[in-house]
Amino acid sequence: MAGSERTPLGRRRFLGYVGSAAAGAAAGSAGGAAWASARDPEPAPPAVPTTSEAVLSPYGPHQPGIAAPAPRVTEVVALDLLPHVDRDALGRLLRAWTGDVEALTTGRPTPGDTEPWLAEAAGVTVTVGLGPGALAAATVEGPWGFGPVPPMRHDRLQERWSGGDLVLVVGAPEGTTAAHAVRQLVRDASPFARQRWRQTGSWNGVDRAGRPVTGRNLFGQVDGTGNPAPGSDLFDRTVWVREPRWAGGTTLVVRRITMDLDLWATLTREEQERAVGRRLDDGARMHPMPPRAHALRARPAQNGGARIFRKGANYSTGEDSGLVFMSFQASVEGQFVPVQTALDQEDALNEWTTALGSAVFAVLPGFDEGDWLGSTLLS
């Protein structure tokens, strides 16, 4: 348990526990600078909290992982319901997951955890959503504008990265904690659902001094600048569903987008910058933006005001590299689809990026202590 590791700890040992909620809080420390400091006998410089490693309360009107800073590690897991699962059974699964989420996000083992030592870390978030199949099984209407993403000309979708009745998005400060959390959640779902696909990616949202930064994708581009800022009115209007039963929820589109890093590397720096309309060093806008530039075509002003909130996780496997692209918005049809359609029609970036997977989920509203995920929809 995190508490038992609190004291006494030498600096070196302490820094090995940057993921521990208690240790992190006790020293006001943060993981960002820890790797450098661990080799440095001098006292660490004043620690800058990397919000991605703070403990977020699992309670509230929204599931907290959505607006939270990009975690270092993201695991996205889609599951399919077993044939017998109906509304009641789905409710039982969501109650079980609620308990798991409360435990995992506060650094406690879930009931039945056979490796409880792995549940100590701070900064875990779990976001739960229902795909079209789960909504149908439970006879629940999705939020307004929840629907499929139509086929796009540039898509090369594969079944193994697409669809799903349920989704879990687990964010964690490192991979061991993420893998452990996923295992607990998938195990507890086993009477009801089986894993369909799983995608893992990472994001480096801090600079060397541990200060939060936007972070870069595998093309080296600063990615996320154009997002509405979490906490702002614009963010709230973009992301949260308002209609009564889904209030506080949102929708999620997950796209696995492969990126041709080899071809990209043959471009000049100017060609790369023109493809997106942003400078590579700091992500600043080019003036004027080339007409086919990705960031121009994707702008709300070009798309009838349609706006989305993007979160990405870079992936790199033995097969290929790319982005586990996630987009949150109140309405898939009203916001995501127009932007995606515009980009499919005209976007310089299409030459080096291709969607291999696509899935849509209705993300459940948050819950309060004593309540459970999905209670407004299923009880």
Q: In terms of CB distance, is 102 or 223 closer to ligand HEM?
A: 223
Q: In terms of CB distance, is 89 or 234 closer to ligand HEM?
A: 234
Rule CB under 6 A: say whether 217 interacts with ligand HEM.
yes
Q: In terms of CB distance, is 101 or 157 closer to ligand HEM?
A: 157
Give the nearest distance from C-beta 339 to ligand HEM in angstroms.
5
**Placement of tokens 């973009």 in the chain:** 238
Tokens of 307: 């706006």
Of all residues in the shown chain, the one whose CB is closest to ligand HEM is 226
Give the nearest distance from C-beta 135 to ligand HEM in angstroms.
23
Helix (H) or strand (E) holding 323: strand 321-329
Rule CB under 6 A: say whether 273 interacts with ligand HEM.
no
Give the nearest distance from C-beta 180 to ligand HEM in angstroms.
29
Q: In terms of CB distance, is 112 or 305 closer to ligand HEM?
A: 305
SS3 state of residue 16: coil
Q: In terms of CB distance, is 50 or 314 closer to ligand HEM?
A: 314
Helix (H) or strand (E) holding 353: strand 353-363
DSSP assignment letter at 53: G
Give the nearest distance from C-beta 296 to ligand HEM in angstroms.
8
Q: In terms of CB distance, is 97 or 336 closer to ligand HEM?
A: 336
Span interacting with ligand HEM, options 29-37, 50-58, 180-188, 217-225, rule CB under 6 A:
217-225
Give the nearest distance from C-beta 146 to ligand HEM in angstroms.
16
SS3 state of residue 136: helix
Span interacting with ligand HEM, options 35-43, 62-70, 230-238, 252-260, rule CB under 6 A:
252-260
| CA distance linking residue 377 with residue 379, whole number of Å | 6
| CA distance linking residue 50 with residue 13, whole number of Å | 20
Q: Which of 14, 17, 203, 219 binds ligand HEM (CB under 6 A)?
A: 219
Give the nearest distance from C-beta 224 to ligand HEM in angstroms.
5
| Residue 159 CB neighbours (<10 A) | 9
Span interacting with ligand HEM, options 58-66, 93-101, 190-198, 222-230, rule CB under 6 A:
222-230
Q: Which residues of 129-157 are buried (b: 16+ CB within 10 A; e: fewer)?
A: bbbbbbbebbebebbebbeebeebebbeb
Tokens of 94: 């969501």
Q: In terms of CB distance, is 283 or 374 closer to ligand HEM?
A: 283
Rule CB under 6 A: say whether 276 interacts with ligand HEM.
yes
Beta bridge partners of residue 124, listed in sequence order: none
Please tell me the chain's helix, strand, coil percentages from 3-state DSSP, rounded to the nearest 5: 30, 20, 45
DSSP string, 142-203: PPTT--PPPP-TT----GGGS--SEEEEEEESSHHHHHHHHHHHHHHHTTTEEEEEEEEEE-
Rule CB under 6 A: say whether 308 interacts with ligand HEM.
yes
Tokens of 75: 């695991």
Q: In terms of CB distance, is 48 or 261 closer to ligand HEM?
A: 261
| CA distance linking residue 64 with residue 23, whole number of Å | 22
Rule CB under 6 A: say whether 57 interacts with ligand HEM.
no
Rule CB under 6 A: say whether 257 interacts with ligand HEM.
yes
Rule CB under 6 A: say whether 274 interacts with ligand HEM.
no
DSSP string, 54-123: SPPPSBSSS-TTTTSPPPSEEEEEEEEE-TT--HHHHHHHHHHHHHHHHHHHTT-PPTT-S-GGGG-BS-
DSSP assignment letter at 47: P
Enumerate residues 323-342 that contact ligand HEM by CB under 6 A: 323, 325, 327, 339-340
| CA distance linking residue 153 with residue 74, whole number of Å | 28
Active site residue 223: yes
Catalytic residue among 223, 233, 347, 371: 223
Tokens of 230: 């979490």
Enumerate residues 225-244 that contact ligand HEM by CB under 6 A: 225-226
Rule CB under 6 A: say whether 180 interacts with ligand HEM.
no
The residues carrying an active-site annotation are 223
- Applying CB under 6 A, the residues found at the interface with ligand HEM are 217, 219, 221-226, 255, 257, 259, 276, 278, 283, 294-295, 298-300, 308, 310, 322-323, 325, 327, 339-340, 343, 349, 353
